Amino acid sequence: MAAGSFRRSIASQLSKVLDLPPENLIKSISAVPVSKKRHVADFQFSIASIIENSSSDCLTQDLHLQAQQLAERLKCDSVVSGISAGPGTVNFTINRELLAKTVLQQVWKDGSEYGVKSELFSTVPRQKAVIEFSSPNIAKKFHIGHLRSTIVGNFIANLKVALGHEVVRINYLGDWGMQFGLLGVGFQSFGNKEKLKSSPLQHLFEVYVQINKAAEDENTKQLAKDFFRKLEEHDEQTLSIWKQFRDLSIEEYIRIYERLGVHFDEYSGESFYQERAQEVLKMLEDKGLLQKTIKGTGVVDLSEQKDLSTVSTVMRSDGTSLYITRDLAAAIDRMNKHSWDTMIYVTDKSQSNHFQHLFRILKLMGYDWAERCQHVSFGLVQGMKTRRGEVIFLEDVLNEVRSRMLQNMTSTKTTKEIQDPVETAEKVGLAALIIQDFRGLLSSDYQFSWDRALQSRGDTGVFLQYTHARLHSLEQVHGNAELTDVNVACLQEPDAISVLQHLLRYDEVLYRSSQDLQPKHIVSYLLTLSHLAAVAHKTLPVKGSAPDVAQARLCLFHAARSVLASGMKLLGITPVTQM
């Protein structure tokens, strides 16, 4: 990794002066973010990182002084061309030609693995992660929370795979419960087999809405209960109706997920854990954790004082299981089946309490691995409506973003030359959705705006796609860059240096996202890269330049496009080559 070789070189010099092992210093040496001031150093070393137990009163002044003293003891060499002291930091400027040569060579050599091969990840053990995400309910609205869960879960899975971890992607469907009693009865009254085959999600939802209107009727309620009881008793005819609902829904989901560029290794669901949930209740009883209330429900006491001030209900009064009981059974089953190192649940933050209870009950049952379970929560999205009104299905969102994007593209001059404008519009539109969603902290709520998401300028997914397509066409027009004989002395302009400095930081940004699982670090990095590349594209023309200058610039733009494409793919975006 380019940044790695420079960090090691700086660490080796610091280690001699500070008498500390270089490996202890590497994490404290970071690439400096590109600034509008220009002429900033490339790396900085934080003094605070080597001072233990310092009191903050006299610290700031001490740090300044210590930074100056340390800077005076260090010498420039063939790698470092400038050393200066900043507020609590020692700043290092890398030899400009070496910077260009090393960064370009590394991007060229590592290709899509640039950044992930960094020594920052060398101490991170390769693990097996189970990630449960998306998880819609059959016959109910695929609401916007499911879309967030889908794209966030996909990002986490992509990032983990890129970093060499093994990932199992699970879609845990809401495919059981009393709604199937209603649905079964509803289908007998309002169902249509042809519609069920052609658009199962839409048709089952329509049936569910119609039967819900009639659900106040005592007779309908009783019929629904009877249907669900038969389902629980494994009545063949009832089960085959339920299975048809489930199988056709999954087929349609798979097709829609393909449009999103998302896949799952396993379609699981609550139905898998009906009987195992009963085994969990038996285990809780055997361990003395299941307590009965006056109403006859089963609870687990989660309070510190064991005074029932915090309880989790795990059983209905009729002895049947609840959602959390099935989740307990699923967690235990997944550990037995996959022997995972970490399990991540991606849902909205309203379920935080549910997961706290789930992990605490598992711990009380003696499963220490519960500490390796994690809930990645996200905030709510307000205001996502299609032209036809409220969003009910994921497909509505995808069709809407595609048609709006197609309209925007048709009004620009270049679109007429695109080979497949509809597919391009879908990919660009998806990028717009994903970037709008990922720009802030996942836990924040935000107000959705089609106009803001689909702007072609500013910090949007459309701008990222436009930059990628533009850099790609530059390579198409001028031929692919060749690194073998690049004259790096031709890349000394401030705008070229800014791009190179920014490319240096990519591994740190990936490392940060891998630690907190927040995509916003990568989004912010890619937007800055696109802005820097856009400026360089204007000020450093390839066309009309001397051959060695043109070749060097082409290499620079190739490196920027390569890293941009890799980052976009991690976020779940397919880069387009025409726009």
Q: What backbone torsions phi and psi does residue 281 show, to the nearest 5 degrees?
A: -60, -40
Strand order in the sheet with 290-292: 290-292, 298-301, 311-315
Backbone angles phi, psi at 266, to 5 degrees: -150, 130
Q: Judge whether 412 and 457 are in contact, CB under 8 Å.
A: no
Residue pair 522/571 in contact by the 8 Å Cβ criterion: yes
Is 569 tagged catalytic?
Answer: no
Q: Which of 27, 117, 128, 140 is catalytic?
A: 140
Q: Are residues 500 and 102 in contact, defined by beta-carbon separation less than 8 angstroms?
A: no
| 342: its two tokens | 């970490």
Dihedral pair phi/psi, residue 269, rounded to 5°: 175, 170
Burial of 283 (0-12, 13-18, 19+ CB in 10 A): middle
List 101, 146, 165, 502, catalytic entry: 146
Helix (H) or strand (E) holding 553: helix 547-571
Residue 140 annotated among the catalytic residues of the structure: yes
326 HSE (CA, 13 A, CB side)? 19
CB 446 within 8 A of CB 440: yes
* CA 488, 493, 498, 499 torsion-angle sign: negative
Q: Over the range 487-524, which residues count as b (16 or more CB within 10 Å of their CB) and which as e? A: bbebbeeebbbbbbbbbbbbbbbbbebbeebbbbbbbe
Residue of 143, 160, 468, 558 marked catalytic: 143
Active site residues: 140, 143, 146
